[in-house]
């Protein structure tokens, strides 16, 4: 589940119009082989002698991708702009916008004896199946709630109050959504909380960091899949396996909110008990969160209506349109996987899409860091410091940095004035866990997605040259 690849799956020569630019890699190695390489579970793929640089979507494929998103190059408030604020919320699929409007107008409710109600229930059932396909989670259950943060709180709270004694373990890399919930409910359930320190230099946490803290009586573990501040991915599957080897009964809950839009999710391989996503960060809309719960986690005591179905975790009537937009996201990834591969199996197409998304974003990050054409990269700008280091194979579509001679707020404002939307992260309750150990009050976060282009990166680099003088 982590990312440790910097080899031929990124560097194979691009052939425009051939499986969206990914035909050579997919034909030579197969989507599954590339997937395992990206996860760090296979030896790096050998480089080809005809390699001409990082592998990206072909021009026509990228144009087709961008055409499926609303406001891809224009802000509805300010006009033309480049959107590099994807970690704050990805662009929304046009199909999601249409679906949301359609279901918002339907007056009927679920669970009634009429055709409209039956249709709504079918939409929900399909969305749950689609999410299990996306997550590669044939068992367990998919639920919708208020937000991804709320989903993490509910899973962690139920685990803490419903399982046997033992400490809770998590890492300092985690977003406060999981870190706050774990500390709060460890205290309220009379448990110790073990904080695994992440590596400030690389901006991530590894099995080696967790290993010294593992003990047989661990009751609950939290893992973040990708940091929204450093942008670095985490090897969830290996960390979970190490925990299971020492504490087989430990409930493992994962924050997948930042990772979900940037690569593969494989909960069968991960072997965890809970996984949370915020759909607005995965091409859907605000207003709800999604979680997958293992059968073991779902069976624990939890908030539910007295006398209602014991397995029901959802409280009140959820928006059918929210569920329907999940199917829109899965359908989009299915389309993308089919566009850049010859796979016929739906899961295989999703895996192909995930591998291609990760490779394209990796190439964009490389260009942002090291330059493209005659546009100098961030590493060539005196005074720029890259959080996590410039050569970091764990990076997932995000670069955070500061400038020794310029205020981060001024850089963000300067980029906005030049039509580039980025964000400042401050050493507050959201990002202090990353910035305080570095002695930094803030940083600039530039967060990419697979619909961003090399031309947009070049525009950003030119703007940074102008700002930095």
256 and 112, same domain (yes or no): yes
**What's the total number of domains in the chain?**
2
**Which pairing describes strands 220-224 and 251-255: parallel, antiparallel, or unpaired?**
parallel
Q: Which domain holds residue 351?
A: 8-88+346-468
Domain-ending residue, one of 331, 355, 389: 331
78 and 134, same domain (yes or no): no
How many CB atoms neighbour CB 424 within 10 A? 18
Alpha helices in 249-393 (DSSP H): 267-270, 295-298, 320-339, 346-370
322 and 388, same domain (yes or no): no
Give the C-alpha separation, 232 to 380, whole Å. 22
pLDDT recorded at residue 270: 97
Longest CA pairwise span in the chain (Å): 68
Domain-ending residue, one of 281, 306, 331: 331
Q: Dihedrals φ, ψ of 4, to 5°?
A: -140, 25
127 and 187, same domain (yes or no): yes
Domain-ending residue, one of 263, 298, 331: 331
8 A C-beta contact, residue 67 and residue 93: no
8 A C-beta contact, residue 53 and residue 389: no
pLDDT recorded at residue 360: 97
pLDDT tens, the chain, 469 aa long: 333 343 434 333 233 334 555 444 544 445 454 455 444 433 333 322 222 345 899 999 999 999 999 999 999 999 999 999 999 999 999 999 999 999 999 999 998 999 999 999 999 999 999 999 999 998 999 999 999 999 999 999 999 999 999 999 999 999 999 999 999 999 999 999 999 999 999 999 999 999 999 999 999 999 999 999 999 999 999 999 999 999 999 999 999 999 999 989 999 999 999 999 999 999 999 999 999 999 999 999 999 999 999 889 999 888 999 999 999 999 999 999 999 999 999 999 999 999 999 999 999 999 999 999 999 999 999 999 999 999 999 999 999 999 999 999 999 999 999 999 999 999 999 999 999 999 999 999 999 999 999 999 999 999 999 999 8
362 and 433, same domain (yes or no): yes
Burial of 212 by CB count in 10 Å (0-12 exposed, 13-18 middle, 19+ buried)?
A: exposed
75 and 201, same domain (yes or no): no
8 A C-beta contact, residue 284 and residue 89: no
**CATH (domain of 69):** 3.90.1150.10
339 occurs within a structural domain: no
Q: Give SS3 for 423.
A: strand
1 occurs within a structural domain: no
The pTM (predicted TM-score) of the whole model is 0.89
123 and 269, same domain (yes or no): yes
Q: Dihedrals φ, ψ of 265, to 5°?
A: -125, 125
305 and 184, same domain (yes or no): yes
323 and 407, same domain (yes or no): no
**CATH (domain of 105):** 3.40.640.10
Question: CB-based contacts of 439: which residues, under 8 Å, 6+ apart?
Answer: none
Give the C-alpha separation, 255 to 259, whole Å. 8
């Amino acid at each position: 589940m982590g990312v440790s690849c910097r080899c031929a799956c990124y560097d194979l020569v691009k052939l425009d119009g051939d499986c969206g630019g990914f035909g050579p890699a997919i034909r030579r190695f197969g989507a599954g082989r590339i997937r395992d390489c990206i996860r760090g579970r296979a030896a790096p793929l050998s480089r080809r002698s005809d390699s001409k640089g990082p592998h990206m979507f072909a021009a026509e494929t990228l144009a087709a991708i961008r055409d499926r998103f609303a406001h891809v190059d224009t802000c509805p408030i300010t006009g033309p702009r480049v959107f590099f604020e994807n970690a704050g919320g990805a662009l929304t699929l046009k199909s999601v916008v249409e679906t949301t409007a359609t279901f918002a107008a339907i007056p009927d409710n679920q669970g009634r004896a009429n055709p409209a109600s039956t249709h709504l229930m079918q939409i929900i059932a399909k969305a749950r199946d689609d999410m299990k396909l996306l997550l590669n989670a044939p068992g367990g259950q998919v639920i919708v709630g208020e937000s991804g943060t709320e989903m993490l709180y509910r899973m962690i709270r139920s685990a803490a109050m419903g399982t046997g004694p033992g400490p809770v373990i998590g890492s300092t890399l985690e977003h406060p959504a999981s870190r706050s919930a774990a500390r709060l409910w460890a205290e309220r359930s009379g448990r110790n909380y073990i904080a695994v320190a992440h590596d400030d230099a690389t901006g991530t946490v590894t099995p080696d960091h967790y290993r010294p803290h593992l003990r047989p009586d661990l009751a609950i573990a939290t893992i973040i899949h990708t940091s929204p501040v450093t942008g670095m991915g985490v090897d969830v599957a290996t960390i979970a396996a190490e925990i299971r080897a020492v504490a087989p009964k430990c409930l493992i809950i994962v924050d997948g909110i930042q990772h979900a839009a940037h690569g593969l999710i494989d909960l069968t391989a991960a072997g965890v008990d809970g996984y949370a996503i915020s759909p607005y960060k995965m091409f859907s809309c605000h207003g709800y969160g999604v979680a997958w719960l293992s059968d073991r986690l779902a069976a624990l005591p939890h908030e539910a209506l007295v006398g209602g179905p014991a397995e029901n975790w959802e409280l009140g009537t959820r928006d059918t349109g929210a569920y329907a937009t999940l199917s829109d996201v899965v359908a989009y990834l299915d389309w993308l996987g089919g566009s850049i591969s010859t796979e016929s199996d739906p899961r295989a197409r999703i895996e192909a899409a995930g591998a291609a998304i990760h490779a394209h974003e990796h190439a964009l990050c490389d260009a942002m860091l090291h330059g493209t054409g005659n546009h100098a990269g961030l590493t060539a700008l005196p005074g720029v410091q890259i959080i996590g280091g410039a050569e970091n194979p764990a990076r997932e579509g995000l670069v955070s940095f500061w400038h020794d001679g310029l205020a981060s707020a001024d850089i963000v404002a300067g980029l906005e004035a030049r039509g580039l939307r980025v964000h400042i992260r401050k050493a507050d309750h959201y990002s202090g866990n990353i910035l305080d150990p570095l002695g930094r009050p803030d940083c600039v976060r530039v967060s990419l997605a697979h619909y961003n282009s090399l031309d947009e990166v070049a525009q950003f680099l030119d703007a940074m040259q102008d700002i930095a003088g």
